[in-house]
Amino acid sequence: MSETRTLRDEALHLDAQDPLAAKRREFVLDDQTVYLDGNSLGALPTTVADRLEEVIRHEWGRLRIRSWTESGWWEASERVGDRIAPLIGAAPGQVVVSDSTSVNVFKAVVAAVRLAQSRDPGRDEILCDASTFPTDGYVASSAARMTGCALRALPPERIAAEAGPRTAVALVNHADYRTGQLHDLPGLTSALHQAGALTVWDLCHTAGALPVPLDAHRVDFAVGCTYKYLNGGPGAPAYLYVRRDHQPDFDSPLPGWNSHADPFGMTPDYTPAEGAGRGRVGTPDILSMLALEQALTVWDDVDLDAVRAKSLALGDLFLRAVEAYAPDGRLETVTPREHHRRGSQISLRCPDARQVMDKLIARGVVGDFRQPDVLRFGFTPLYTSYADAEQAARTLAEVLG
Amino acid sequence: MSETRTLRDEALHLDAQDPLAAKRREFVLDDQTVYLDGNSLGALPTTVADRLEEVIRHEWGRLRIRSWTESGWWEASERVGDRIAPLIGAAPGQVVVSDSTSVNVFKAVVAAVRLAQSRDPGRDEILCDASTFPTDGYVASSAARMTGCALRALPPERIAAEAGPRTAVALVNHADYRTGQLHDLPGLTSALHQAGALTVWDLCHTAGALPVPLDAHRVDFAVGCTYKYLNGGPGAPAYLYVRRDHQPDFDSPLPGWNSHADPFGMTPDYTPAEGAGRGRVGTPDILSMLALEQALTVWDDVDLDAVRAKSLALGDLFLRAVEAYAPDGRLETVTPREHHRRGSQISLRCPDARQVMDKLIARGVVGDFRQPDVLRFGFTPLYTSYADAEQAARTLAEVLG
């Protein structure tokens, strides 16, 4: 019991000193639940419901069609993109919000292949990380089929070495959805550029959990969802980053009327817009988009270095507590312990992981299960407390014991 | 003045006898506005705001991740599709809601080309109507480029004659967005089938305005938006119809994890789901989706033949009133007068259309302007009254006079 008391005390002490502690009050949470699934669906920011009511009752209900101009609906894709930009290390004008992550992967990979081939027609290979979130692999496969490329799935640590004169682009997850491992964005981007290849990074599991330095490392393209660490709501629209100097050459496979230079000219010929808006397609889901816009206001005063520091400290505490509490030999830690190789989730493995997670959820500790035997615990520094981390480990030990 | 009084009296008489008159109370409208832009953005159904508040505060806010199963979020694409199905003459299990119309055009046209070529590899041509809504043409052009096909844009009345042994598919708008002309879905579908070609119909300007007989005429694929006559809200997700017997062969260019047979198996290989869900891609925008689902409840007790009858009667009254009131020679009627060639909008032409529409809107009559010289007036039978139609014509005459 002394170890329990010690770690519990330490957690409470860390919470008392946490510079982000006040942020928790900006989310709808309840005291009966330890919510460690914000890496799947972020909690609801407290101001979103009122904002959506205004959007529905006033902007749609009263102004109707006028809201496309008077309420700024038309520009929302770029405006919300600019709200996300600082969270992913991007200067304004390079991020657009529209469509799902999967659809944005398709845009980015096809456009990257076209750009690479416009410089060197012999580049006919797409690389991806073999442990990718499935949709990235499925969509990359379709992009390869439709551009006449081959797709090679590689362990991420081999991508740098395998990239060569035939590589057009590599699509890589910044953090692995199952293991929580953080991949080396600066090093891999640099290696791919050295090989003459372009990069598409999938930021679903890092944006909002740690600083993502896109501009600083001259990443070419990136995509990400907004419903995990960005708390945009279920299925909130995803984003696409196109580095500014690539924008004039961004040749989208989905040239919808929203990305036309003069959308209301309604001309039969497609002339793409300048800027990030070139990544738009059709009319975006405005209700979901404006919920996301409101949700992003929680980031206005947040220091991403503080987020990263807390994320790692939460994971460290959780891992120590699991080691202290859990029966020996029941769990294997999947996520690397080294800080520079870890995102913001801790994954543990046990043969009966599905049953264990069901029991945890029944006791109010909400993580999730991933095939075949992985328990995932996501640490969202804006609202996860150290006490949450310690309690989760304690409950896990009870379930296992 | 006698003509004015007569038409006004007639309008009030028609409203008094209108079997759909009570439906108007199910929408948020105001007495200061004659809203004739429901063919661009449908009015807000009265119950949507409360439903979205419940979705946000309870399903997202309290249940969080559990709502993917407990609140039925995961199945929403198919469930909402089945709500749309009867409005477009489709038996259940053939319609899925997801993504924008543009993205669905891409899925449908590419899948149609693949299906046509699997039967006859020599079919390397895509046809579309030359006056198509621009996004359809842009996306069809991309689909042609990516499948090695040629795209030919033709006047719709020539598509039947021009379809031949090289035609894989024709993408046709059921009603022309600018002129309001209704195209002959049964006849054109039959002619294309005779030529061995497949059909993709764009229903954006007809679904919810008139009966659309997809199953009855063995249409192959169809797409449509949900924010016009279906009142789903700004940018509400679009739908894709895949005829049941084509589903096993539907080879989507956007194979996201949501359309996998076992999405949570998260296997590296893509095995498409059975059924309409094969048309899904990534995670859909749930807030917009559930607003649409609620909006569709207004159709529960609606007879589409009554909708069509009222739509035509509204247009007839409007045209008669415009002729009676407007100065001679100022306007040209663009929309065909014959009922079987007319959708649910009346388009008029005058050189100063943009200025005329601005003045109309300033006087509370909201239609819209389309390049280069077209005034559009949309008649949405669930909430447009005959008095609205008469008042719009009267105000138009005042503005022109």
pLDDT at A154: 97
Q: Please report, for the domain that includes residue A25, its CATH number.
A: 3.90.1150.10
Last residue of a domain, one of A265, A299, A333: A299
Q: Give pLDDT tens digits for B263-303.
A: 999 899 999 999 999 999 999 999 999 999 999 999 999 99
Q: What is the mean pLDDT of chain B?
A: 97
Residues in chain A where the model's pLDDT stays below 70: 1-4
Does residue B63 sit in the same domain as residue B16? no
CA distance B257 to B34: 44
CA distance B317 to B346: 11
* H helical segments located in A184-303: 185-194, 286-295
Q: Is omega for the bond preceding A372 within 30 degrees of 0, making it cis? A: yes
What pTM value is reported for the model? Answer: 0.98
Instruction: List CB contacts (< 8 A) between A291 and chain B.
Output: 56, 287
3-state helix, strand, coil in chain A (%, to 5): 50, 15, 35
Alpha helices by DSSP H, A72-210: 76-84, 101-119, 134-147, 156-162, 185-194
Q: Is residue A337 part of a domain?
A: yes
Token readout for A182 is 């953080």
Coil vs helix vs strand at B88: helix
- At residue B9, does pLDDT exceed 60? yes
Tell me the C-alpha distance between B2 and A391, whole Å.
81
Confidence class for position B328, pLDDT limits 50, 70, 90 = very high
Inside any domain, residue B374: yes
**Which pLDDT score, from 0 to 100, does residue A4 have?**
66
| Structural domains counted in chain A | 2
Q: Chain A contacts of B132, Cβ < 8 Å? A: 268
Beta bridge partners of B369: B375
Determine, for residues B64 and A49 on separate chains, whether the beta-carbon distance falls below 8 Å: no
Residues B228, B126 share a domain: yes
Give yes or no for a contact between B146 and A253, defined as CB atoms under 8 angstroms apart.
Answer: yes
Report yes or no on A240 lying in a domain: yes
Q: With CA atoms as reference, report the closest residue to B182 among B193, B190, B172.
A: B172
Look at the block and give the residue holding tokens 């001309």: A267
- Structure tokens belonging to residue B206: 């007809």
Instruction: Please answer yes or no on whether B287 and A288 come within 8 Å at the CB atom.
Output: yes
Are B330 and B251 in a shared domain? Answer: no
SS3 at position B242: strand
Do the domain assignments include residue A171? yes
Q: Which pLDDT score is estimated for B4? A: 65
Instruction: Assess whether B202 carries a catalytic annotation.
Output: yes
Do A223 and A115 lie in one domain? The reply is: yes
Exactly one of B136, B176, B202, B388 is catalytic; name it: B202
CB A389 within 8 A of CB A311: no
Is the predicted ipTM greater than 0.85, yes or no?
yes
Residue B3: the pLDDT is 67
Residue finishing a domain among A299, A327, A358: A299
- Contact list in B for residue A43 (CB cut-off 8 A) is 61, 64
Dihedrals φ, ψ of A77, to 5°? -60, -45
B115 and B58, same structural domain? Answer: yes
pLDDT digits over B11-48, tens only? 999 999 999 999 999 999 999 999 999 999 999 999 99
| For residues B56-65, average pLDDT | 98
Contacts of A214 (CB under 8 A, 6+ apart): A88, A89, A90, A94, A201, A222, A241, A243
Alpha-carbon distances of B372 from A287, B137, B353, rounded to whole Å: 31, 18, 8
Report the relative pairing of strands A125-129 and A374-378 from DSSP bridges: unpaired
Q: Which A residues 175-214 touch B at CB under 8 Å?
A: 178
The pLDDT score that the predictor gives to residue A5 is 74
Does any CB of chain A come closer than 8 Å to the CB of residue B135? yes
At B146, phi and psi to the nearest 5? -85, -10
Whether residue B326 is found in the same domain as residue B295: no
- Whether residue A317 sits in one domain with residue A288: no
Query: Does the distance separating the beta carbons of B287 and A235 come in below 8 Å?
Result: yes
> Does any domain span residue B190?
yes
For residues A293 and A346, membership in a common domain is answered with no
The catalytic position among B376, B377, B383, B386 is: B376
Interface size, chain A vs chain B, as Cβ–Cβ contacts under 8 Å: 250
Q: Is A163 left (phi over 0), alpha (psi -120 to 50) or beta?
A: beta
Domain hosting A75: range is 51-299
| Contact residues, chain A, for B28 at CB < 8 Å | 57, 61-62
A391 part of a folded domain? yes
* Same domain flag for A157 and A267: yes
Residue A38 lies in a domain: no
CATH of residue A69? 3.40.640.10
Q: Which residues of A are catalytic?
A: 133, 202, 227-228, 376
Among A299, A321, A355, which residue terminates a domain? A299
| Residue A151, domain member (yes or no) | yes
